[in-house]
């Protein structure tokens, strides 16, 4: 999937009321592995997260984060991870969005990496 393709369709940044919360640690670890590479480069660490199963997307993992240069409270920074047929997981990063927090915002923070 080309990240610069304007026709790329992705799951919503926010989870809908129809989304079913599920537990699939192998899927979460696959998404975290990809997301960790990006957030470390931003001097961040992943915070609260949620895995849902959605009718149009299958499994969708969302995680909030903030950081020294990325704290736009009360706006939310979020990573969304999903898998398209025949491809590995894909992620989308959104900065400073009007979203519902996934959990306690005080647990979603970044640390400076040395």
In a domain, 108, yes or no: no
For the CA atoms of 10, 18, 35, 106, what is the dihedral angle to 10 degrees?
Answer: 130
Instruction: List the single range of 13-17, 62-66, 68-72, 97-101 with lowest mean pLDDT.
Output: 68-72
pLDDT exceeds 80 at position 3 = no
In a domain, 25, yes or no: yes
pLDDT of 108 higher than 60: no
Measured distance CA(27)–CA(63) in Å, rounded:
13
Split into its structural domains, the chain has a count of: 1
Distances in Å between the Cα of 110 and the Cα atoms of 39, 81, 86 are: 8, 19, 33
Confidence bin at 8 (pLDDT 50/70/90): low
Euclidean distance between CA atoms 95 and 6, whole angstroms: 18
Which structural domain range is residue 90 located in?
Answer: 20-102
């Amino acid at each position: 999937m080309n990240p610069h393709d304007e026709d790329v369709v992705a799951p919503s940044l926010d989870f809908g009321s129809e989304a079913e919360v599920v537990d699939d640690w192998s899927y979460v670890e696959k998404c975290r592995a990809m997301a960790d590479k990006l957030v470390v480069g931003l001097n961040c660490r992943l915070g609260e997260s949620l895995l849902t199963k959605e009718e149009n997307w299958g499994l969708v993992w969302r995680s909030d984060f903030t950081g020294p240069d990325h704290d736009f409270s009360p706006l939310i920074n979020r990573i969304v991870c999903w898998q398209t047929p025949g491809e590995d997981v894909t992620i989308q990063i959104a900065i400073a969005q009007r979203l519902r927090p996934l959990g306690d915002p005080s647990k979603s923070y970044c640390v400076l990496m040395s």
